[in-house]
Amino acid sequence: MANALFDALFAPLAARQDDFLILPDGAGLSGAAFLAMVSRQAHALRAAGLGVGDRIAVQAAKSPEALASYGAAVALGAIYLPLNTAYTAEEVAYFLDNATPRIFLCETARRAALEPLANRHGARVMTLDADGGGTLSEAAADQPTTLTPADRGADDLAALLYTSGTTGRSKGAMLTHGNLLSNAEVLAGLWRFTDRDVLLHALPIFHTHGLFVASNISLLTGGRMIFLPGFDLDAMIRLLPRATAMMGVPTFYTRLLDDPRFTGELVRHMRLFISGSAPLLTETHRSFEARTGHRILERYGMTETNMNTSNPYEGERRAGTVGLPLPGVKLRIMAEGAEVRPGETGVIEVHGPNVFKGYWQMPEKTREDLREDGWFITGDVGRADGDGYITIVGRARDLVISGGFNIYPKEVELLLDEQPGVLESAVIGVPHPDFGEAVFAVLVPEKGATLDPEATLAALRDRLARFKLPKAAVVVEALPRNAMGKVQKNLLRNSYRNWFGA
């Protein structure tokens, strides 16, 4: 048996003397040198006790060495668990307790605070810093630069990726070698990535977007990555002329559009801009095309499945939609146990080689969300048009039920976003003494605009049924978001739960 993921992504680097990673200062790291880094780390981690099936939890700043730790885990047949670098010690304690990793990799500055927690759960602590230093690099320094990877098949676990936990206890999605590899292969073909591509990579690598989409595709196709530690507007403007493709979250694109240096001439050589992880406003899509001539390609994925749909590379990229199901991925929209007709709304379910094996240590939740025949109930509410393009309406748990009527927040948000002076909006349900729940709007103004909440709501009276109209609205400077730009509606609901005194 071979090691499916290592053989496809990392082994080919041995023959690459050209740059695989281009760093912010312009320095390059060849494919062969990166593979040697992976090998040395793998030997060091194995000496520290990491073996087949063990978990390695990583909470470290983005760096070539941090990316190499992913390759090292794959090579050893271990299960890679990346953690958001913003998680507090209390939050990290939950993951250590739930995943029981053999190794916990963190930054030196946080070791004193986190090591007692790790030790309590049987994890050995090693350190890795943003500059590549730390005890892992020290242990790896004199290790061999080649290795024989552990045998792993398509059904063996490669990663444990936890959901964001914005609406409850975070769940560990078990992703296999086959899940990750099949998705990378489909996306690389669909989006036309080749060894000539240079991907501008400013995403975090603790998330599926930056790690299992962007990095895996570049590794698979032999391309290069301009590897930035995070989104830096000046660096993005400076380095875009060297790139052919970019993957980002919507805030990347809105920030670029806010800068007059970002012009069509700056990106005339670019091949592709991709957006995901949070909904892209239709206005952003249109403004970007007007400025650059490029239509952003929006897609849809989840922690449990990687990518499910994509607008086409060739063909119509429809603003406000996430495109069509990927080749090999089946998608259906269900309501009351039956598949709905085009244009009708329901809960999205998906089936395919990208779908995870279940939730770590949560068999009941796995049975609840993953049907015996392999269909995954995503919890996302959407609809398909007559051509099969999918529009995400929201999360099922975000559905507002007011006076017995179902209201999908996205429908109301789209109309609010069209109003003068409104940059974006979030619609939630809050307790109400008469209706059970009331529709409530949170508005963010455009720069320099002054919003009158009552006037904004009044403009919707002839466009929405009365039961869908927000009963009240507030204006805020910004919506709360998680690391990948998703609006945290649970925080909004908590903030305004007593608005009507229910």
Query: Is 196 domain-assigned?
Result: no
Residues whose CB falls within 8 Å of the CB of residue 455, separated by 6 or more in sequence, listed in order: none
Q: How far is Cα 250 from Cα 209, in angstroms, rounded to an integer?
A: 13
Q: From the CB of residue 502, how many other CB atoms can be counted at a distance below 10 Å?
A: 14
CATH number, domain containing residue 465: 3.30.300.30
Edge to edge, what strands does the sheet with 338-339 contain? 338-339, 330-335, 346-351, 376-384, 390-395
**Could you give the number of structural domains in the chain?**
2
Query: Is 255 domain-assigned?
Result: no
Task: Supply 215's token pair.
Answer: 């990095």
Query: Is 241 domain-assigned?
Result: no
Q: How far is Cα 242 from Cα 391, in angstroms, rounded to an integer?
A: 33
Query: Is 73 domain-assigned?
Result: yes
Query: Is 105 domain-assigned?
Result: yes
Q: How far is Cα 274 from Cα 262, in angstroms, rounded to an integer?
A: 17
Which parts of the chain sit beneath pLDDT 70? 1, 164-168, 404, 484, 502
Question: What was the pLDDT predicted at 502?
Answer: 59
Query: Helix or strand or coil: residue 438?
Result: strand
Question: What was the pLDDT predicted at 483?
Answer: 72
Query: Is 141 domain-assigned?
Result: yes
Q: How does pLDDT run across 435-476, given as a tens digit for each residue? A: 778 899 999 999 999 999 999 999 998 888 788 899 999 999
Q: Nearest-CA neighbor of 473 among 489, 448, 450, 496?
A: 496
Helix H or strand E encompassing 118: helix 111-120
Residues whose CB falls within 8 Å of the CB of residue 336, separated by 6 or more in sequence, listed in order: none
Question: What was the pLDDT predicted at 394?
Answer: 79
Which of 120, 152, 176 delimits the end of a domain? 176
Query: Is 333 domain-assigned?
Result: no
**Contact 244/196 with Cβ under 8 angstroms?**
yes
Query: Is 144 domain-assigned?
Result: yes
Q: What are the C-alpha distances in Å from 275 to residues 68, 80, 226, 247? A: 25, 25, 17, 6
Q: What are the C-alpha distances in Å from 387 to residues 157, 187, 289, 325, 384? A: 36, 21, 23, 11, 8
Task: Supply 297's token pair.
Answer: 């390609």
Size (the chain), residues: 502
Which of 142, 157, 176 delimits the end of a domain? 176
Question: What was the pLDDT predicted at 1?
Answer: 64
Task: State the residue range of the domain holding 67.
Answer: 4-176
Question: What was the pLDDT predicted at 166?
Answer: 44
Which of 141, 176, 211 delimits the end of a domain? 176
Q: How far is Cα 303 from Cα 460, in angstroms, rounded to an integer?
A: 35
Q: How far is Cα 129 from Cα 182, in angstroms, rounded to an integer?
A: 32
Q: What are the C-alpha distances in Å from 325 to residues 190, 308, 315, 341, 378? A: 11, 6, 14, 16, 14
Question: What was the pLDDT predicted at 54?
Answer: 98
**Contact 252/273 with Cβ under 8 angstroms?**
no
Task: Supply 261's token pair.
Answer: 């240096």
Q: How does pLDDT run across 138-178, given as a tens digit for each residue? A: 999 999 999 999 999 999 999 999 986 544 578 999 999 99
CATH number, domain containing residue 80: 3.40.50.980
